[in-house]
Amino acid sequence: MQDKSWILVHILLNHFHPKKIKEFLNILPPDDAKKILSHDVPFSDINPIFVNPREFFKNIHYSWIVPLIQNLPSPIKELTISALPVPLASGLKKHLKIQNLNLTLPKRSSFFFLKNLYKQIHPPQLLPPEFLPKEPLSILLNFSRKDLMALVDFLGLYDLAEEVKHLVDQKSLRNVYACLDNKKMRFLRLCLHQRSKFKTPKLNLQKWNGNCDTLSQMLHQRGLYRLGKALCGSHPDFLWHLSKKFDTGRSALLEKHYTKQESPGITSGLIQQVIYAINSLQHKDKM
Protein backbone atom coordinates (compact mmCIF):
# COMPACT_ATOMS: atom_id res chain seq x y z
CA MET A 1 0.00 0.00 0.00
CA GLN A 2 1.10 3.56 -0.74
CA ASP A 3 1.28 6.39 1.82
CA LYS A 4 -2.06 7.73 0.63
CA SER A 5 -3.73 4.40 1.39
CA TRP A 6 -2.40 4.33 4.95
CA ILE A 7 -3.54 7.92 5.47
CA LEU A 8 -7.02 7.09 4.19
CA VAL A 9 -7.25 4.10 6.52
CA HIS A 10 -6.33 6.38 9.41
CA ILE A 11 -8.98 8.92 8.38
CA LEU A 12 -11.63 6.20 8.14
CA LEU A 13 -10.72 5.03 11.62
CA ASN A 14 -10.95 8.59 12.92
CA HIS A 15 -14.37 8.93 11.34
CA PHE A 16 -16.04 5.60 12.13
CA HIS A 17 -14.17 4.31 15.19
CA PRO A 18 -12.55 7.30 16.94
CA LYS A 19 -12.68 5.60 20.36
CA LYS A 20 -11.56 2.14 19.21
CA ILE A 21 -8.53 2.90 17.02
CA LYS A 22 -6.15 1.15 19.41
CA GLU A 23 -8.26 -2.02 19.46
CA PHE A 24 -8.41 -2.07 15.66
CA LEU A 25 -4.66 -1.62 15.31
CA ASN A 26 -3.99 -4.44 17.76
CA ILE A 27 -5.51 -6.99 15.37
CA LEU A 28 -3.39 -5.84 12.43
CA PRO A 29 0.12 -7.06 11.61
CA PRO A 30 2.57 -4.87 13.60
CA ASP A 31 4.14 -3.45 10.43
CA ASP A 32 0.75 -2.32 9.09
CA ALA A 33 -0.22 -0.72 12.39
CA LYS A 34 3.12 1.06 12.47
CA LYS A 35 2.61 2.45 8.96
CA ILE A 36 -0.85 3.77 9.85
CA LEU A 37 0.48 5.48 12.98
CA SER A 38 3.50 6.89 11.12
CA HIS A 39 1.21 9.53 9.58
CA ASP A 40 -0.07 12.27 11.86
CA VAL A 41 -3.68 12.44 10.71
CA PRO A 42 -5.98 14.69 12.76
CA PHE A 43 -8.76 14.55 10.14
CA SER A 44 -12.05 12.70 10.44
CA ASP A 45 -13.98 14.27 7.55
CA ILE A 46 -14.21 11.72 4.73
CA ASN A 47 -15.89 14.03 2.19
CA PRO A 48 -12.61 15.10 0.49
CA ILE A 49 -12.11 11.46 -0.49
CA PHE A 50 -15.04 11.75 -2.88
CA VAL A 51 -13.81 14.31 -5.37
CA ASN A 52 -16.31 16.23 -7.48
CA PRO A 53 -14.54 16.65 -10.86
CA ARG A 54 -16.44 19.86 -11.60
CA GLU A 55 -15.18 21.43 -8.37
CA PHE A 56 -11.68 20.14 -9.07
CA PHE A 57 -11.53 21.81 -12.48
CA LYS A 58 -12.52 25.18 -11.05
CA ASN A 59 -8.95 25.50 -9.74
CA ILE A 60 -7.09 24.35 -12.85
CA HIS A 61 -5.53 26.67 -15.42
CA TYR A 62 -6.64 25.84 -18.95
CA SER A 63 -3.06 25.32 -20.21
CA TRP A 64 -2.95 21.99 -18.33
CA ILE A 65 -5.94 20.74 -20.31
CA VAL A 66 -4.70 21.74 -23.77
CA PRO A 67 -2.35 18.74 -24.30
CA LEU A 68 -5.11 16.35 -23.22
CA ILE A 69 -7.73 17.49 -25.72
CA GLN A 70 -6.07 19.35 -28.59
CA ASN A 71 -5.65 16.21 -30.71
CA LEU A 72 -9.09 14.75 -30.01
CA PRO A 73 -11.63 14.55 -32.87
CA SER A 74 -13.48 17.85 -33.09
CA PRO A 75 -16.85 16.54 -31.81
CA ILE A 76 -15.26 14.91 -28.73
CA LYS A 77 -13.11 17.98 -28.13
CA GLU A 78 -16.11 20.29 -28.23
CA LEU A 79 -18.16 18.06 -25.94
CA THR A 80 -15.29 17.89 -23.43
CA ILE A 81 -14.86 21.67 -23.42
CA SER A 82 -18.61 22.16 -22.99
CA ALA A 83 -18.55 19.98 -19.88
CA LEU A 84 -15.93 22.15 -18.16
CA PRO A 85 -16.64 25.14 -15.88
CA VAL A 86 -17.15 28.36 -17.85
CA PRO A 87 -13.82 30.15 -17.04
CA LEU A 88 -11.82 27.07 -17.97
CA ALA A 89 -13.87 26.43 -21.12
CA SER A 90 -13.48 30.06 -22.19
CA GLY A 91 -9.70 29.89 -21.90
CA LEU A 92 -9.58 26.69 -23.93
CA LYS A 93 -11.84 28.03 -26.66
CA LYS A 94 -9.72 31.14 -27.01
CA HIS A 95 -6.46 29.19 -27.04
CA LEU A 96 -7.72 26.60 -29.53
CA LYS A 97 -9.53 29.26 -31.61
CA ILE A 98 -12.89 27.58 -31.30
CA GLN A 99 -15.84 29.84 -32.06
CA ASN A 100 -19.62 29.55 -31.79
CA LEU A 101 -19.52 26.70 -29.29
CA ASN A 102 -22.69 26.93 -27.20
CA LEU A 103 -23.44 23.33 -26.28
CA THR A 104 -25.27 22.50 -23.06
CA LEU A 105 -24.75 18.93 -21.92
CA PRO A 106 -27.06 16.93 -19.65
CA LYS A 107 -25.61 16.57 -16.17
CA ARG A 108 -24.82 12.87 -16.59
CA SER A 109 -23.08 13.38 -19.94
CA SER A 110 -21.11 16.28 -18.52
CA PHE A 111 -19.94 14.13 -15.61
CA PHE A 112 -18.75 11.41 -18.02
CA PHE A 113 -16.41 13.79 -19.85
CA LEU A 114 -15.20 15.46 -16.65
CA LYS A 115 -14.47 12.13 -14.99
CA ASN A 116 -12.49 10.93 -17.99
CA LEU A 117 -10.42 14.12 -18.04
CA TYR A 118 -9.93 13.99 -14.28
CA LYS A 119 -8.42 10.49 -14.49
CA GLN A 120 -5.90 11.73 -17.04
CA ILE A 121 -4.66 14.73 -15.07
CA HIS A 122 -4.96 13.60 -11.45
CA PRO A 123 -2.36 11.06 -10.19
CA PRO A 124 -4.17 8.29 -8.27
CA GLN A 125 -1.91 8.56 -5.19
CA LEU A 126 -2.24 12.34 -4.89
CA LEU A 127 -3.54 13.54 -1.53
CA PRO A 128 -6.50 15.94 -1.53
CA PRO A 129 -5.57 19.45 -0.31
CA GLU A 130 -7.63 18.90 2.84
CA PHE A 131 -5.44 15.92 3.87
CA LEU A 132 -2.09 17.63 3.38
CA PRO A 133 -0.03 18.48 6.47
CA LYS A 134 -0.37 22.10 7.55
CA GLU A 135 2.52 24.25 6.38
CA PRO A 136 3.42 27.93 6.77
CA LEU A 137 2.23 28.63 3.22
CA SER A 138 -0.84 26.36 3.18
CA ILE A 139 -2.99 29.48 2.80
CA LEU A 140 -1.81 29.75 -0.81
CA LEU A 141 -4.12 26.89 -1.79
CA ASN A 142 -7.05 29.20 -0.99
CA PHE A 143 -5.77 31.93 -3.32
CA SER A 144 -7.24 32.59 -6.73
CA ARG A 145 -4.92 32.75 -9.71
CA LYS A 146 -5.32 36.54 -9.73
CA ASP A 147 -4.20 36.71 -6.08
CA LEU A 148 -1.22 34.45 -6.76
CA MET A 149 -0.11 36.56 -9.71
CA ALA A 150 -0.27 39.71 -7.56
CA LEU A 151 1.76 37.94 -4.87
CA VAL A 152 4.45 36.93 -7.36
CA ASP A 153 4.66 40.54 -8.58
CA PHE A 154 5.15 41.76 -5.00
CA LEU A 155 7.85 39.15 -4.31
CA GLY A 156 9.81 40.44 -7.30
CA LEU A 157 9.99 43.83 -5.59
CA TYR A 158 12.43 42.38 -3.06
CA ASP A 159 14.93 42.04 -5.90
CA LEU A 160 14.16 45.53 -7.13
CA ALA A 161 14.72 46.93 -3.64
CA GLU A 162 18.21 45.42 -3.53
CA GLU A 163 19.00 47.05 -6.86
CA VAL A 164 17.52 50.42 -5.97
CA LYS A 165 19.66 50.61 -2.83
CA HIS A 166 22.75 50.84 -5.01
CA LEU A 167 21.34 52.74 -7.99
CA VAL A 168 22.73 56.29 -8.05
CA ASP A 169 21.52 57.29 -11.51
CA GLN A 170 18.53 59.52 -10.76
CA LYS A 171 17.13 59.20 -14.27
CA SER A 172 17.09 55.40 -13.99
CA LEU A 173 15.41 55.66 -10.60
CA ARG A 174 12.70 57.92 -11.98
CA ASN A 175 12.12 55.50 -14.85
CA VAL A 176 11.76 52.62 -12.39
CA TYR A 177 9.35 54.49 -10.14
CA ALA A 178 7.26 55.54 -13.14
CA CYS A 179 6.59 51.86 -13.86
CA LEU A 180 5.18 51.11 -10.40
CA ASP A 181 1.65 51.80 -9.22
CA ASN A 182 1.00 53.19 -5.74
CA LYS A 183 0.60 49.77 -4.11
CA LYS A 184 3.92 48.53 -5.47
CA MET A 185 5.68 51.78 -4.55
CA ARG A 186 4.51 51.46 -0.96
CA PHE A 187 5.64 47.86 -0.77
CA LEU A 188 9.00 48.69 -2.39
CA ARG A 189 9.62 51.28 0.33
CA LEU A 190 8.93 48.61 2.94
CA CYS A 191 11.34 46.20 1.22
CA LEU A 192 14.08 48.84 1.27
CA HIS A 193 14.20 48.59 5.07
CA GLN A 194 14.48 44.80 5.17
CA ARG A 195 17.56 42.63 5.11
CA SER A 196 17.71 39.17 3.61
CA LYS A 197 20.28 36.38 3.63
CA PHE A 198 18.94 35.23 0.27
CA LYS A 199 20.96 36.86 -2.48
CA THR A 200 19.95 36.75 -6.13
CA PRO A 201 21.82 37.85 -9.26
CA LYS A 202 21.61 41.58 -9.92
CA LEU A 203 18.90 42.89 -12.20
CA ASN A 204 21.43 45.14 -13.97
CA LEU A 205 19.01 48.01 -14.42
CA GLN A 206 21.79 49.93 -16.11
CA LYS A 207 21.15 47.73 -19.14
CA TRP A 208 17.36 48.00 -18.87
CA ASN A 209 15.77 49.67 -21.90
CA GLY A 210 13.30 51.69 -19.82
CA ASN A 211 10.26 49.73 -21.04
CA CYS A 212 7.79 49.13 -18.20
CA ASP A 213 6.55 45.82 -19.61
CA THR A 214 10.12 44.54 -19.72
CA LEU A 215 10.64 45.52 -16.08
CA SER A 216 7.38 43.87 -15.06
CA GLN A 217 8.41 40.64 -16.76
CA MET A 218 11.82 40.71 -15.08
CA LEU A 219 10.30 41.24 -11.64
CA HIS A 220 7.65 38.58 -12.22
CA GLN A 221 10.36 36.04 -13.07
CA ARG A 222 12.20 36.97 -9.88
CA GLY A 223 8.98 36.62 -7.89
CA LEU A 224 8.46 33.09 -9.20
CA TYR A 225 12.06 32.31 -8.28
CA ARG A 226 11.54 33.46 -4.69
CA LEU A 227 8.24 31.63 -4.36
CA GLY A 228 9.75 28.41 -5.71
CA LYS A 229 12.60 28.65 -3.21
CA ALA A 230 10.18 29.46 -0.38
CA LEU A 231 8.30 26.24 -1.18
CA CYS A 232 11.39 24.07 -0.73
CA GLY A 233 10.67 21.37 1.82
CA SER A 234 6.92 21.54 1.23
CA HIS A 235 4.95 18.36 0.60
CA PRO A 236 5.22 17.47 -3.14
CA ASP A 237 1.43 17.13 -3.36
CA PHE A 238 1.09 20.68 -2.04
CA LEU A 239 3.28 21.89 -4.91
CA TRP A 240 1.16 19.88 -7.39
CA HIS A 241 -2.10 21.49 -6.28
CA LEU A 242 -0.58 24.97 -6.15
CA SER A 243 1.14 24.74 -9.52
CA LYS A 244 -2.11 23.82 -11.27
CA LYS A 245 -3.46 27.27 -10.44
CA PHE A 246 -0.67 28.75 -12.55
CA ASP A 247 -0.19 28.16 -16.26
CA THR A 248 2.23 25.42 -17.28
CA GLY A 249 5.05 27.88 -18.04
CA ARG A 250 5.04 29.51 -14.61
CA SER A 251 4.54 26.14 -12.93
CA ALA A 252 7.66 24.82 -14.66
CA LEU A 253 9.67 27.67 -13.13
CA LEU A 254 8.27 26.96 -9.65
CA GLU A 255 9.18 23.29 -9.97
CA LYS A 256 12.63 24.17 -11.30
CA HIS A 257 13.47 26.12 -8.15
CA TYR A 258 11.73 23.72 -5.73
CA THR A 259 13.51 20.95 -3.85
CA LYS A 260 12.05 18.37 -1.47
CA GLN A 261 14.48 19.52 1.20
CA GLU A 262 14.44 23.06 2.53
CA SER A 263 17.59 25.18 2.44
CA PRO A 264 18.80 25.79 6.01
CA GLY A 265 18.83 29.47 6.88
CA ILE A 266 17.29 30.41 3.52
CA THR A 267 13.85 28.81 3.19
CA SER A 268 12.54 30.14 6.51
CA GLY A 269 13.54 33.69 5.58
CA LEU A 270 11.85 33.42 2.19
CA ILE A 271 8.69 32.05 3.81
CA GLN A 272 8.62 35.14 6.02
CA GLN A 273 8.96 37.33 2.93
CA VAL A 274 6.02 35.55 1.29
CA ILE A 275 3.90 35.93 4.43
CA TYR A 276 4.87 39.60 4.68
CA ALA A 277 3.87 40.14 1.05
CA ILE A 278 0.57 38.32 1.63
CA ASN A 279 -0.22 40.50 4.63
CA SER A 280 0.66 43.63 2.68
CA LEU A 281 -1.61 42.61 -0.19
CA GLN A 282 -4.48 41.76 2.12
CA HIS A 283 -4.12 45.02 4.00
CA LYS A 284 -3.02 47.23 1.14
CA ASP A 285 -5.44 49.98 2.10
CA LYS A 286 -3.69 50.32 5.43
CA MET A 287 -0.15 50.39 4.05
In whole angstroms, how far apart are CA 220 and each of 61, 195, 230?
Answer: 18, 20, 15
In this prediction, residue 284 carries a pLDDT of: 55
**Tens-place pLDDT, residues 67-112:** 999 999 999 999 999 999 999 999 999 999 998 887 888 988 999 9
| CB neighbour list of residue 27: distance below 8 Å, 6 or more residues apart | none
In whole angstroms, how far apart are CA 185 and each of 64, 149, 177, 181?
Answer: 34, 17, 7, 6
In this prediction, residue 42 carries a pLDDT of: 67
In this prediction, residue 1 carries a pLDDT of: 47
In this prediction, residue 47 carries a pLDDT of: 65
In this prediction, residue 73 carries a pLDDT of: 94
In this prediction, residue 22 carries a pLDDT of: 78
Point out the residues of the chain with pLDDT beneath 50.
Answer: 1, 285-287
In this prediction, residue 158 carries a pLDDT of: 95
